[in-house]
């Protein structure tokens, strides 16, 4: 078991009606608030009005229209400007991973004099950030409980993961009823994203019995609850269980002490959505079974077979290779069953830019590190992308 240093300083308030805690949580951090949100779902659901009502004692500024796969040159730059011009004290992010991630980059940029992109890319160290409170409206990324922000720059096809301990939200308000209105497409994509977060942590050597058990429970919960939430969007228990797993799945708690996987499917997916602006969870669902198939070899087969018997319910008595192959098939079939388009062509990606994307991934994502569970060369990446077409 490896050494680790772990801290998640975010306060999580979870459950029906917990929005009533918002004024107290925000009030401790400041009176001048930047309210950030996306393309309008919070107005349709009535959450915007509710929040404005709760903020009557605050001075509220707004940044709306944050895009899925949030864009640097529009949303981040605008948000930083509003914060600086109005001496904002705290950011209230209401939405999904895109709104939260954009708000985290804004929070860091607001207290930095230079170009925020230099913080995002790590060219300049982050030395602080405005405090962030969020109200989550979609279960998926775990941004509400981690220190990551994924920001896209359309001009250069970059989609960069910005990780810094200053980016943890101070407080996350999680009411599963706010996810009742999430579409089938986004519900399924969110589940696939969280499953990928767990798998990116599971496929590392060495691992611990505790971590393996947490990963197994998390994936089982998602696979049991996703079909229920898709059939009955207002099933509180299913939505709540999905939300809680998603919240835990991305902050590293499932792999403390484990070896590194390098998060290869995320590294590859960030290029897909950087080049083609696709939905993150769909890209991951398409790539993951192809990645597993590609890396299956004598070195990895035992772990993939273990994934099969302990998580995917493959029956015992088969060879390791048969078990691993069945596990990959079951994973693929599950994604099909929740309605995810399972080829790149179905999400608008053809062979034209495969070479360019494989090269972009190879030089930016560090997936060839020999210490990883299954290092990937540029050629490997290209073959996985081609197999996903």
| Site residues, Zn ion (CB under 5 A) | 193
The partner in contact with residue 226, picked from ligand NZQ, Zn ion, none with C-beta cut-offs of 5 to 8 angstroms by kind, is: none
Alpha helices (runs of H) in the chain, residue ranges in sequence order = 22-27, 41-45, 47-54, 77-86, 97-109, 116-120, 184-202, 209-231, 236-249, 264-276, 280-295, 301-310, 320-337, 354-364, 378-388
Distance from C-alpha of 201 to C-alpha of 212, rounded to nearest angstrom: 9
Write down the least CB distance from residue 316 to ligand NZQ, Å: 33
Query: Radius of gyration over alpha carbons of the chain, in Å?
Result: 20
Closer of 197 and 314 to ligand NZQ (Cβ): 197
Closer of 246 and 372 to ligand NZQ (Cβ): 246
Distance from C-alpha of 133 to C-alpha of 313, rounded to nearest angstrom: 39
Q: Which two tokens stand for residue 82?
A: 């509003």
The partner in contact with residue 283, picked from Zn ion, ligand NZQ, none with C-beta cut-offs of 5 to 8 angstroms by kind, is: none
Alpha helices (runs of H) in 3-56, residue ranges in sequence order = 22-27, 41-45, 47-54
The partner in contact with residue 135, picked from Zn ion, ligand NZQ, none with C-beta cut-offs of 5 to 8 angstroms by kind, is: none
State the residues that interact with ligand NZQ by CB under 6 A.
38-42, 45, 68-69, 95-99, 101, 137-138, 140-143, 146, 148-150, 178-179, 181-182, 186, 190, 193, 250, 266, 280
Write down the least CB distance from residue 172 to ligand NZQ, Å: 12
The partner in contact with residue 95, picked from Zn ion, ligand NZQ, none with C-beta cut-offs of 5 to 8 angstroms by kind, is: ligand NZQ
Using alpha carbons, list the distances in angstroms from residue 175 to 16, 34, 53, 241, 352: 5, 21, 17, 11, 43
Write down the least CB distance from residue 231 to ligand NZQ, Å: 17
Write down the least CB distance from residue 107 to Zn ion, Å: 20
Write down the least CB distance from residue 159 to ligand NZQ, Å: 7
Closer of 45 and 208 to ligand NZQ (Cβ): 45
Helix axis angle for 280-295 and 378-388, nearest 10°, is 120
The greatest distance separating any two alpha carbons of the chain, rounded to the nearest whole angstrom, comes to 66
If one counts every other C-beta atom within 10 angstroms of the C-beta of residue 342, the result is 17
Exposure of 289 in the CB half-sphere (CA atoms within 13 A):
24
The partner in contact with residue 252, picked from Zn ion, ligand NZQ, none with C-beta cut-offs of 5 to 8 angstroms by kind, is: none
Write down the least CB distance from residue 156 to Zn ion, Å: 21
Closer of 96 and 289 to ligand NZQ (Cβ): 96
Closer of 109 and 308 to ligand NZQ (Cβ): 109
Q: Which two tokens stand for residue 360?
A: 């972009």
Closer of 101 and 193 to Zn ion (Cβ): 193
The partner in contact with residue 309, picked from ligand NZQ, Zn ion, none with C-beta cut-offs of 5 to 8 angstroms by kind, is: none
Determine contact, residues 286/273, Cβ cutoff 8 Å: no
Write down the least CB distance from residue 333 to ligand NZQ, Å: 23
Closer of 193 and 320 to Zn ion (Cβ): 193
The partner in contact with residue 274, picked from Zn ion, ligand NZQ, none with C-beta cut-offs of 5 to 8 angstroms by kind, is: none
Distance from C-alpha of 261 to C-alpha of 255, rounded to nearest angstrom: 10
Name the residue with the smallest CB distance to Zn ion. 193
Of 282, 280, 187, the C-alpha closest to 234 is 187
Query: What sign does the CA torsion over 21, 146, 361, 290 have?
Result: negative
Closer of 189 and 314 to Zn ion (Cβ): 189
Write down the least CB distance from residue 145 to ligand NZQ, Å: 9
Provide the 3-class DSSP secondary structure of residue 91: strand
């Amino acid at each position: 078991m490896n050494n680790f240093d772990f801290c998640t300083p975010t306060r999580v308030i979870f459950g029906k009606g917990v929005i009533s805690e918002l004024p107290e949580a925000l009030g401790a951090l400041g009176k001048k608030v930047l309210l950030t949100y996306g393309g309008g779902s919070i107005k349709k659901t009535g959450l915007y009005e509710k929040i404005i009502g709760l903020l009557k004692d605050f001075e509220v500024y707004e940044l709306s229209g944050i895009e899925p796969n949030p864009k640097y040159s529009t949303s981040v730059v605008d948000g930083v400007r509003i914060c600086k011009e109005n001496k904002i004290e705290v950011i209230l992010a209401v939405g999904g991973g895109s709104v939260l991630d954009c708000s985290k980059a804004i929070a860091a940029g607001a207290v930095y004099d230079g170009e925020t992109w230099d913080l995002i890319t790590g060219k300049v160290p982050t030395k602080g950030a405005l405090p962030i409170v969020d109200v989550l409206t979609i279960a998926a990324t775990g941004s509400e409980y981690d220190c990551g922000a994924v920001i896209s720059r359309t001009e250069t096809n970059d989609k960069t993961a910005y990780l810094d301990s200053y980016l943890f939200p101070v407080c996350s308000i999680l009411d599963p009823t706010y996810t009742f209105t999430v579409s089938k497409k986004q519900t399924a994509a969110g589940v696939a994203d969280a499953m990928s977060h767990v798998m990116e942590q599971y496929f590392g050597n060495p691992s611990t019995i505790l971590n393996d058990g947490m990963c197994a429970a998390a994936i089982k919960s998602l696979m049991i609850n996703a079909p229920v939430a898709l059939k009955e969007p207002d099933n509180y228990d299913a939505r709540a269980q999905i939300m809680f797993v998603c919240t835990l799945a991305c902050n590293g708690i499932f792999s403390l002490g484990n070896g590194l996987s390098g998060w290869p499917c995320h590294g590859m997916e960030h290029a897909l959505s950087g080049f083609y602006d696709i939905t993150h969870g769909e890209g991951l669902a398409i790539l993951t079974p192809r990645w597993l198939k590609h890396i299956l070899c004598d070195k990895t087969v035992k772990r993939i077979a273990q994934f099969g018997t302990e998580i995917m319910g493959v029956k015992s008595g088969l060879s390791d290779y048969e078990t691993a192959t069945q596990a990959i098939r079951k994973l693929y079939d599950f994604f099909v069953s929740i309605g995810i388009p399972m080829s790149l062509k179905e999400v608008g990606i053809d062979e034209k830019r495969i070479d360019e994307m494989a090269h972009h991934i190879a030089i930016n994502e560090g997936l060839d590190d020999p210490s990883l569970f299954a290092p990937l060369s540029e050629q490997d990446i290209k073959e996985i992308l081609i197999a996903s077409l």
